[in-house]
């Protein structure tokens, strides 16, 4: 996709935070954006209204619980039906919380693996025929901790590690028609539930080469590059982490 003008791109978890930044950037580049949400209906509808004011019929909100696998082909079909095509899929939606060994249960497994690995797999499978027809692309949002696990977050890290492997596997299986890549964020937005106290945040930022937090727009720019300007790139992961992984052998 040399340009995103009139391309249709589905962004999961697009109502808030990084997902909303991705949607805004793709829209600014001319794309029509399908804004997936689960609970954040007010934010998703407000974002769709905001984008449609800028360019009519350029955004729409779609509700789905991505853990309900049976719903995923329907979500993709609804998006394709809305504008008659599908050119891109951004698997951004994610659950994130600690799972100390000894306290891991089925509920945590279903939530973390469901949102971070299972849903991207089945969404990509459902989207593949549409993307093949348009020679489109998939971008998965992984994490630097897919390769450098974070203590206390075994299930999350394992799920993101599986998504990283899936990125490369799908790049092979869907070639040459569909490109599949990933963006691995570092310290971009902190969880809103206080999982990382201020001193811990400062230590993490101190381990970056750039000595500062990133912005959601940094992730959005990488996603936009992979969708619009990276026609000879597939099976790759871009780390957007301020250089944190460049010199760390452990988290």
Catalytic residues: 156
Is there a contact between 1 and 227 (Cβ–Cβ < 8 Å)? yes
**First-to-last CA distance in the chain?**
35
Q: How many Å apart are CA 74 and CA 34, to the nearest integer?
A: 14
- C-alpha to C-alpha distance for 229 and 160, rounded to whole angstroms: 25
Q: Would you give the distance in Å from CA 25 to the centre of its chain?
A: 14
Q: Determine contact, residues 76/129, Cβ cutoff 8 Å.
A: no
Between helices 119-134 and 154-173, what is the axis angle to 10°? 20
Query: What are residue 198's phi and psi, to 5 degrees?
Result: -60, -40
* Tokens describing residue 104: 């891991």
Could you tell me if 190 and 216 are in contact, meaning their C-beta atoms sit under 8 angstroms apart? no
d(Cα 75, Cα 85) in Å, to the nearest integer? 13
Tokens 């993307």 label which residue?
A: 131
Q: Report the b/e string of 58-82 with b at 16+ CB within 10 A.
A: bbbbbbbebbeeebbeebbebbbee
């Amino acid at each position: 996709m040399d340009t995103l003008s009139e391309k249709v791109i589905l962004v999961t978890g697009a109502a808030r935070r990084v997902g909303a930044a991705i949607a805004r950037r793709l829209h600014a580049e001319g794309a029509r954006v399908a804004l997936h949400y689960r609970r954040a209906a007010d934010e998703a509808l407000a974002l769709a209204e905001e984008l449609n004011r800028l360019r009519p019929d350029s955004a729409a909100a779609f509700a789905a619980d991505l853990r309900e696998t049976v719903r995923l082909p329907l979500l993709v079909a609804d998006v394709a039906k809305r504008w008659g095509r599908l050119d891109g899929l951004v698997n951004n939606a994610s659950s994130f919380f600690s799972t100390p060994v000894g306290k891991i249960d089925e509920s945590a497994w279903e939530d973390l693996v469901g949102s971070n690995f299972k849903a991207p797999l089945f969404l990509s499978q459902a989207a593949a025929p549409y993307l093949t027809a348009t020679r489109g692309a998939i971008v998965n949002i992984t994490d630097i901790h897919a390769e450098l696990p974070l203590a206390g977050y075994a299930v999350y890290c394992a799920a993101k590690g599986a998504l990283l492997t899936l990125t490369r596997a799908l790049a092979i299986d869907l070639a040459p028609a569909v490109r599949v890549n990933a963006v691995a964020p570092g310290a971009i937005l902190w969880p809103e539930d206080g999982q990382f106290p201020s001193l811990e945040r400062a230590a993490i930022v101190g381990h970056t080469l750039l000595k500062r937090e990133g912005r959601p727009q940094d992730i959005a720019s990488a996603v936009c590059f992979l969708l619009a300007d990276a026609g000879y790139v597939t099976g790759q992961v871009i780390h957007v982490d301020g250089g944190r992984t460049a010199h760390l052998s452990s988290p």
